[in-house]
Amino acid sequence: MSIVIADEPRVAAPPPPEPVVPRRNYLNTEYGVLSWLLTVDHKRIGILYLVSISAFFVVGGIAAGLVRLNLLSPTGAILTEDQYNRMFTAHGVVMLFLFLIPSIPAVFGNFFVPMMIGAKDLAFPKLNLASWYVFMIGAGFAVYAVLVGGIDTGWTLYPPYSSRSHTNVTPGVFGVFITGFSSIMTGLNIMVTIHKMRCPGMTWGRLPLFIWAMYATSFIQLLGTPVVAITLLLLLAERVGGVGIFDPAIGGDPVLYQHMFWFYSHPAVYIMIVPGMGVVSEILTCFSRKNIFGYKAIAWSSVGIAVVGFLVWAHHMYVAGIAYYSALLFSFLTMLVAVPSAIKVFNWLATLFRGSITFHAPMLYTLAFLVLFTVGGVTGLFLATLGTDIHLHDTYFVVAHFHFVMVGGMVLAYMAALHYWWPKMTGRMYSDFWSRASATIIFVGFFFTFVPQFVLGYHGMPRRYPNYPQEFQIYNVLSTAGASILGFGYLLPGIYLPLSLFFGVKSPANPWSATGLEWQCPSPPTTFNFDFVPVVVCGPYEYAIGVDQLGRGLPDPPGPGDAASPYRPVGPAGPIHKETEVVG
């Protein structure tokens, strides 16, 4: 392999003319509430999910805010101990089952998988709509349970306490059980679509890495979710019917619950993070103007994570009473799952190397992801190691590690995806300044929130305790102060993104000069995405020779000197170089 640095961009093909903006697109083809509630358009269903999970994100965020406020004082600042239990459970249940799991697969998977493989819709459009309804019904039960009376078991719902608790465990468990079916429906739909509906020329080796990530995610959803559904059903049978399955008082085995629960719930972590990894691969290449480094390695590492992720669940149970030999085995297996994750990180770094990097909001979020996910991953190795986990188990170290991966990783990848694809979804550009400011504020706030928790955990503060010794207060105050910065950072997109719908200038079809098929559709797309059958002629990231997947040249995004551009004030602030190097 040789690397040639070119001073001038080499244009392999002329860029296509800006497509005529169609009078009708998926947003204005029909009006009225019913047109949304009965739609089978994958893009509209993606928007339905976006609106729904944004609301749940606010609910879960408020619960998190109350938990952090309460921890300002060693004796609890605003909540009783019982209220505190219900509040952190509400935060966990809502954020995990109603936001993180459906976030990228249901919003961006629904919206962009067909467009990125050149299809008109998902394979089963009606099933897709049904999945949203099932999700909302389950979410209704779960939100009712956590907001009206609450659940005090923690989001893991461990028996025997969950079998005996007098709080709203039954509707909560039932809600989570129902939302699982929605996850299965989405996974099935996406997997079949990728298998059966790729356009001509879109071979497996030309699939965007986001599609590979979604494929791996669907694999986990299809194989793992039924297990947790059965587990929760058994829990309900014990709780409602008194059948002794998990409660030792009536002949059950509580560790069996943990085995069954984590057999799904650890891979569920990869349901959350693997799609984010796919997003990162898309954005890093675009904003560094580089071909992806190690396409096959990244693609297969997604599949590797999906498979190996099923072999590591009992690392959550080292001190739960499992056999010593079993704990040793799972410690070793857990180390293995770090390998494909590390492969991805190294390949992303190599992609950035000598790239022509521009720091727009999607890229800022993505770079933040890289830093925070790496910290989260490395601290995960502390917990995977049997010896250190004995000390760190169920402390704030685990909380910090988990949030570094889930919030620093997944939520930032979600925000990156939202900012990257927002112009395509809505046809509008958002404020460049405020979006960069938001990404920066979130990054800073995140560190202040969760780094003190590593220290707290290492010094032995247990998770889920409302009270703590005086010497821990400084770290808790720091963490709460960071959470307020973080909350402010999240608030900003909640303002400038909706405002852009009304005041944002119109986006061209390909504002980031990206190579994927989805950018060949107008912004916003028409109902069936493409007016022609796309024929793919090359891989998904041909930034080196400057062509999209149809073999056409890439447009130059507008720059600050382009005074005639109507979207200059809010578009990218500087010209993105079409090419800086040729790898061949």
Partner 1 sequence: MTTDTHKPDDPPTMHDVDKVGSLFVVYFVVLGLAVANILLAEFGHLGNLSLPVQLGIGTVQACLVAWYWMHMRRGDKVVTLTAVTALFFIFIFYVLVLADILTRWRAAI
Binding mask 134-153 for partner 1 (x = CB under 8 A): --------------------
Strand, helix or coil for residue 575: coil
Stretch that binds partner 1, among 143-151, 312-320, 337-345, 492-500 (CB under 8 A): 312-320
Q: What is the 3-state secondary structure (H, E, C) of 498-561?
A: HHHHHHCCECCCCCCCCCCHHHHCCCCCCCCCCCCCCCCCCCCCCCCCCECCCCCECCCCCCCC
Closer residue to partner 1 in complex, CB, 328/349: 328
Check residue 323 for interaction with partner 1 (CB under 8 A): yes
Closer residue to partner 1 in complex, CB, 14/241: 241
Check residue 223 for interaction with partner 1 (CB under 8 A): yes
Q: Which residue reads 């194989």 in tokens?
A: 223
Check residue 194 for interaction with partner 1 (CB under 8 A): no
Check residue 246 for interaction with partner 1 (CB under 8 A): no
Binding partner 1 (rule: CB under 8 A), the pick from 243, 255, 297, 573 is: 255
Closer residue to partner 1 in complex, CB, 311/505: 311
Measured at the CA of 441, the angle between CA 437 and CA 443, to 5 degrees, comes to: 120
Check residue 444 for interaction with partner 1 (CB under 8 A): no
Closer residue to partner 1 in complex, CB, 219/295: 219
Q: Give min distance, CB of 323 to partner 1, in A.
A: 4
Stretch that binds partner 1, among 34-42, 108-116, 310-318, 561-569 (CB under 8 A): 310-318
Binding partner 1 (rule: CB under 8 A), the pick from 210, 257, 310, 567 is: 310
Q: How far apart are the C-alpha atoms of 373 and 341, rounded to whole Å?
A: 10
Binding mask 339-378 for partner 1 (x = CB under 8 A): ----------------------------------------
Stretch that binds partner 1, among 313-321, 351-359, 457-465, 502-510 (CB under 8 A): 313-321
Check residue 256 for interaction with partner 1 (CB under 8 A): yes
Q: Give min distance, CB of 183 to partner 1, in A.
A: 16
- Partners of residue 3 on adjacent β-strands: 583
Stretch that binds partner 1, among 2-10, 322-330, 440-448, 536-544 (CB under 8 A): 322-330
Check residue 391 for interaction with partner 1 (CB under 8 A): no
First to last CA, the chain: 6
- Name residues whose C-beta falls within 8 Å of residue 439's C-beta, 6 or more positions apart in sequence: 361, 364, 365, 368, 415, 419, 489
Check residue 305 for interaction with partner 1 (CB under 8 A): no
- Partners of residue 25 on adjacent β-strands: none
Binding partner 1 (rule: CB under 8 A), the pick from 31, 325, 502, 532 is: 325
Q: How many CA atoms lie within 13 A of 400 on its CB side?
A: 29
Closer residue to partner 1 in complex, CB, 62/322: 322
Give the H or E element holding residue 5.
strand 3-5
Q: Give min distance, CB of 333 to partner 1, in A.
A: 9
Stretch that binds partner 1, among 154-162, 228-236, 239-247, 251-259 (CB under 8 A): 251-259
Q: Give min distance, CB of 301 to partner 1, in A.
A: 19
Check residue 335 for interaction with partner 1 (CB under 8 A): no
Check residue 263 for interaction with partner 1 (CB under 8 A): yes
Report how many residues bind partner 1 under the rule CB under 8 A. Answer: 24
Measured at the CA of 482, the angle between CA 476 and CA 487, to 5 degrees, comes to: 125
Q: Give min distance, CB of 461 to partner 1, in A.
A: 21
410: left (phi > 0), else alpha (psi -120 to 50), else beta?
alpha
Closer residue to partner 1 in complex, CB, 386/499: 386
Closer residue to partner 1 in complex, CB, 262/541: 262
CB atoms within 10 A of CB 431: 21
Q: How far apart are the C-alpha atoms of 398 and 375, rounded to whole Å?
A: 13
Closer residue to partner 1 in complex, CB, 12/256: 256
Residues in the chain: 584
Check residue 303 for interaction with partner 1 (CB under 8 A): no
Stretch that binds partner 1, among 95-103, 134-142, 219-227, 533-541 (CB under 8 A): 219-227
Strand, helix or coil for residue 177: helix
Q: How far apart are the C-alpha atoms of 370 and 441, rounded to whole Å?
A: 16
* Residue whose C-alpha is closest to residue 50's, from 99, 116, 119: 99
Closer residue to partner 1 in complex, CB, 42/393: 393
Distances 107 to 50, 53, 157, 414 between C-alpha atoms, Å: 6, 9, 27, 10
Check residue 234 for interaction with partner 1 (CB under 8 A): no
Closer residue to partner 1 in complex, CB, 253/562: 253
Q: How far apart are the C-alpha atoms of 205 and 539, rounded to whole Å?
A: 7
- Looking at residues 196 to 215 of the shown chain, list those that interact with partner 1 (rule: CB under 8 A): none
Structure tokens at 243: 């059948």
Check residue 227 for interaction with partner 1 (CB under 8 A): yes
Binding partner 1 (rule: CB under 8 A), the pick from 137, 230, 329, 338 is: 329
Check residue 390 for interaction with partner 1 (CB under 8 A): yes
Closer residue to partner 1 in complex, CB, 112/263: 263
Q: Which residues of 91-110 are buried (b: 16+ CB within 10 A; e: fewer)?
A: bbbbbbbbbbbbbbbbbbbb
* Residue whose C-alpha is closest to residue 421's, from 95, 96, 57, 115: 115
Binding partner 1 (rule: CB under 8 A), the pick from 137, 322, 345, 492 is: 322
Closer residue to partner 1 in complex, CB, 242/387: 387
- Name residues whose C-beta falls within 8 Å of residue 483's C-beta, 6 or more positions apart in sequence: 64, 65, 68, 445, 448, 449
Check residue 326 for interaction with partner 1 (CB under 8 A): yes
Distances 96 to 61, 241, 244, 363 between C-alpha atoms, Å: 12, 27, 28, 25
- DSSP 8-class letter at 359: -
Residues within the interface to partner 1 (CB under 8 A) = 195, 222-223, 227, 255-256, 259, 263, 310-311, 314, 318-319, 321-327, 329-330, 386, 390
